[in-house]
Amino acid sequence: MNFKITVFKLFILLFLPIFIFAQEDTIKKSVEEHLDEQMLVALKVVENINKEKYAKLNIDEREYDKQINYLLNKIAINQREGNFVAVKRDEMNLQLLQEKREYEKTLKEIIQAKNSYKDKEYFRKIIKDNISLLESNALNRYKEIYNKAKKDKDNQVSVELIDTYDTLKKQRNKQQFVLTYLLNNMDEYRESYFFIDNFSIEYIISKIDSQPFISNISQFTSYYFKFSIGEVLFVIFVMGFFRIINTKLIFLFTTFINKIFMKKSDKEEDEMELFIKDSIEKPLIYALYTLSIHISLYALIKDPKAINTIVPWINTVYIGILTWASYALLDNWISNYAENLVERYPNVRREMIAFILRVTKVVLILIVILFLFMQLGIDIKAIAASLGVGGIAIALASKDTLANFFGSLNIMTDNSFSQGDWIVANEVEGTVVDIRMRTTRVRTFDNAMITIPNSELATTHIKNYSKRKIGRRIKMSIGLTYESAMEDIKQLKEDIREMLIEHPNIATVYDTTIPFTKRFQSAKREDLQGIQRTLLVYIDEFSSSSINILVYCFSKNPSWEEWLKTKEEVIIKISELVHKNNCQFAYPTQTLFLKN
């Protein structure tokens, strides 16, 4: 028995150290192999980043959300049933999905940041955010239930929990190693740029504050007033720099546009320069000043939360200025070239162009407001849904506005009157000044402005004196004395007719011709276009004190002032013809016969 104990002791003394050292060597070798495997994975990830393979990575957010919602429902059901092992298993599966998605998004964002030349701080931020997510999801809280599950391997749920735990641990170790490697070895996949990485606002300010004659003052102001001399000088430099750009940029920009796009006369180049200057000068000035304020904020404000609060408003200002410039270009282009457009296309109406401009302006303003909501993180879908719920109330409240808007559309499409027309609508008479989205403004002949809702104009009868192409009526009755000879009166009538036919400003049937193919509808066409060419001169009646000649004709030009001039010329000519034919104008007289 003692011999057996002695042999056993000798065996332990001889072989136990060999066994222990072998196990330590195996463990050490296993750790080194594990690290080598992780290093190979990290190098492979760097290679894929350089080849931009992750840029084509399709992250199906909808599928991820679907699986996450499925797991959340399973967790809720298992919690109600008291299946705590299944709850922990599904919680780990949930973390597995979330961490995988964030890891893929981080790799894709690294390539996007690399292609857009982001600074190193941006890369550090997206990588550290992912590492923080991994660290916040600690595995230690699942360690206890994991150890219990290893003792209960006959239970299928326990086996699934063990597999999920091992998979999550392996994935997390790999991701943490890769992300840490990417954080510490940025130069392997991103080139270093001095002006992007070093020549920043902080770099410039620190260089200014490090000067011997500024250093002490900057320390004083930084301690007591929370700003340094370098920050102040940087802001002054930025403001001055953009002020100089504002004075020179318009000229350089218009010169560049003229050189590239304009190969015409000097006059057209000057017009183009004035057009661009009038359109974008003020928006560009405000944009550059906004940019100077934007840059200065990064120098003066150190709190990232404050910067993130202010930047959405500044972005909205940029969009507003861009919208302003776009609308100004469109407005000025139409103002400058609408005359040629109307002359080339007679069916194009000025007020229709102005109406489209106003609608465009409203749409652009709505786009700016929606962009502001997006920048501030307001849910536009929720607003749209609330509008759907309150749509009836809004429709009732804006009933008159909508009626006037559709009334303006009716006026535009019906073409009953246009801007500049002389109209009579109910008790209103005057010249149409402007047809707006809600109202029409009419300038009366006593120089008063009357505003009429478009819904009223669209449903009332309108007399339009301007809808005539040729013809404004001249009608008069010429009274001759009974002492005038009938032969002289007949000759006078013929002379007046001949004078009117030869008069250059009186419309006759010889002034316009109708194509042969249109003769069957000539009456309709003339009525539609407002063409009147009737010329009548007849001995009309024996009145109480005169023999009357009816003169009925139309002036060619429907303008009131031209009509008055033509009418004056006709009256003078008739007066001359009356005296030429030995006739006299009759006066209202009475003759008394006394009978003996």
pLDDT at 346: 56
Radius of gyration of the chain (CA): 46
438 three-class SS: coil
pLDDT at 518: 43
Averaged pLDDT for residues 431-459: 82
What does the pLDDT look like over 306-364, one tens digit per residue? 777 888 788 888 888 888 887 777 777 766 666 666 666 555 566 666 666 667 777 77
- How far is the C-alpha of 473 from the C-alpha of 493, rounded, in Å? 19
Percent of all residues in the chain with a pLDDT value above 70, rounded to a whole number? 72
| Segment holding 478, helix H or strand E | strand 472-480
What does the pLDDT look like over 160-172, one tens digit per residue? 888 988 898 888 8
pLDDT at 521: 42
pLDDT at 194: 53
Percent of all residues in the chain with a pLDDT value above 90, rounded to a whole number? 8
Q: Secondary structure of 32-62 in the HEC alphabet?
A: HHHHHHHHHHHHHHHHHHHCCCHHHCCCCHH
Greater model confidence, 490 or 557? 490
pLDDT at 263: 52
- The residues, ordered by sequence, that sit 6+ positions from 186 with a Cβ below 8 Å of its Cβ are 120, 123
Which of 203-207, 224-228, 284-288, 397-401 has maximum average pLDDT? 284-288
- Contact indicator for 566, 474 with CB cutoff of 8 Å: yes
How far, in whole angstroms, is CA 331 from its chain's centroid? 15
- How far is the C-alpha of 516 from the C-alpha of 421, rounded, in Å? 32
pLDDT at 15: 46
291, 353, 360, 362: which is closest to 321 by C-alpha?
291
455, 474, 460, 453: which is closest to 423 by C-alpha?
460
186 three-class SS: helix
Cα dihedral value 298, 301, 307, 310, nearest 10: -100
5, 206, 178, 6: which is closest to 100 by C-alpha?
178
- How far is the C-alpha of 104 from the C-alpha of 110, rounded, in Å? 10
What does the pLDDT look like over 26-59, one tens digit per residue? 444 466 777 778 888 888 888 888 888 887 777 7
Averaged pLDDT for residues 283-292: 81
Task: Tell me the pLDDT band of 198, cut-offs 50, 70 and 90.
Answer: low
- How far is the C-alpha of 55 from the C-alpha of 105, rounded, in Å? 10
Residue 525 reports pLDDT greater than 70? no
